[in-house]
Amino acid sequence: MTSQPTLKTTGHEPGGPGDPGDGSGLQAGLKSRHLSMIAIGGVIGAGLFVGSSSGIATAGPGILLSYALVGTLVVLVMRMLGEMSAANPTSGSFSAHADRALGSWAGFSIGWLYWFFWVVVLAVEATAGAVILEGWIPAVPQWAWALIVMLVLTATNLVSVGSYGEFEFWFAGIKVVAIAAFIVIGGLAVFGLLPGVDSEQAGLSNLTEHGGFLPHGAGAILTGVLLVVFSFMGSEIATLAAGESENPRQAVTKATNSIIWRVAVFYLGSIFVVVSLLPWDSKSITKDGSYVAALDSLGIPHAGQIMNFIVLTSVLSCLNSGLYTASRMAFSLGQRGDAPKSFARTTANGVPRTAILASVAFGFVAVFFNYKFPDSVFLFLVNSSGAVALFVWLVICFSQLRMRKIIQAEAPEKLVVKMWLYPYLTWATAALIVFILGYMLTDTEHDGRETMLLSLLVAALVLVVAFVKEKVLGGRRAAAAAAQADSQAQAQDDRRDEVSAG
């Protein structure tokens, strides 16, 4: 079933920039500033602002170790993905790499699971944004706000990839500026250097007092990992978007090399400030949210509304990128015959319109389920897509193990980004991911087991479809090849008969 993959030499997939295919193909409409901000903003998800409070309540100041552990994992996985994507930039990213390295079943399965993850995220983020907007303008119902947000960002993605890039540039820019300002202001307050602010609670002593650095024991670090790991999903978006830039290889290399400081500054830096400004067991952290509580502790007026604006920006950014990412994955699946061919067609502006509309249609359906069946159907969708991030990272590990050998054999000059300590660190990373997946099965307090089991169920269903498709298409291809061989043999016999008769 798994055939020996080959490395493409063009640097682009069929239908990508430089290959018109249907319509005009994907176009290089993303500028370097777009790619830079997509890479920076992609690692700052709305989950960082919204979900960090539960992690702090669970692990205390030790949540820093949870973020450091997951951050290290993301850096290593992105290094592997960067190695493959720099050698062969493609809108299918890790799905296309898995297709070549492990077989079409792997590319099919992980591509559809990733698409499923992001279309569910569309519904989650649209609802989150609608809640904030309804709080500001209650005359418009929540469902209407969700509809408006989805329609606006769908229209943005349908215009051109450049319009997506421009919107994401400003959305991500606001996130980056906001969190950078938070780190600077909060850091000054922690060390007593912020003029006009005298916060009695702030100080490095918050890291060791109130039960110590690990108030709930070392085991809470792993529980914290389960709570924060999914907020890192999005780091890989830059490798998908790079396929529509003027210099994909340079864009991938830059994004890969900058992942370390992005994780260190935006995640570890901001969480360090939060747990230093306030005791980890402060009720305000779980009641108001970690970042709002931190701003309130400094006496900054309207802290809640300021943070709501930042969270709304993050939500819109996540929606914008989620729709883009889902549509490009659907486009790549369509190119490889793993989705309807219409998904691979593009407009004159290089937009995969059908792939976008199909993705947003599922998102609309999921939004409907969120309002109509929030505790049943929608809860199933959310939980069944919850472990996809870890599945994706695991597939990237195994793909890189094989792709490195292929690249070295066929085009070693394309190894402009290399995974450190290959293959030992790759195997160690894969082992850590498997360990986290296994640990999820033991987590009943935070729904880790349910999420893992439902995600495995959906993954198993997709794998069954992949194997059935491979068997059916493989049989058809074999029959077609046999028929072609028979036809060629018959033609040769006919020519020999003509020569003999002559």
Structure tokens at 117: 């993850």
Residues of the chain with pLDDT under 70: 1-24, 43, 45-46, 196-200, 474-502
Distance (Å, whole) CA 178 – CA 195: 19
Which long-range contacts link 286-289 to residues 24+ away (Cβ below 8 Å)? 286/53, 286/54, 286/57, 289/49, 289/50, 289/53
Domain tally, the chain: 1
- The pLDDT value recorded for residue 16 is 44
- The pLDDT value recorded for residue 498 is 65
- The pLDDT value recorded for residue 214 is 93
Within-domain flag for 441: yes
- The pLDDT value recorded for residue 472 is 78
Sign of CA dihedral 272, 278, 281, 283: negative
Q: Structure pTM?
A: 0.87
Within-domain flag for 8: no
Whether the Cβ atoms of residue 323 and residue 314 lie closer than 8 Å to each other:
no
Nearest C-alpha neighbor of 264 from the set 206, 321, 170, 179: 179
Nearest C-alpha neighbor of 58 from the set 277, 219, 288: 219
- The pLDDT value recorded for residue 4 is 37
Within-domain flag for 20: no
- The pLDDT value recorded for residue 484 is 56
**What is the CATH number for 390?**
1.20.1740.10
- The pLDDT value recorded for residue 90 is 84
Distance (Å, whole) CA 349 – CA 463: 34
Whether the Cβ atoms of residue 30 and residue 19 lie closer than 8 Å to each other:
no
Within-domain flag for 240: yes
Within-domain flag for 301: yes
Within-domain flag for 50: yes
Within-domain flag for 7: no
Within-domain flag for 13: no
Determine the structural domain holding residue 476 and report its residue range.
32-501
- The pLDDT value recorded for residue 341 is 93
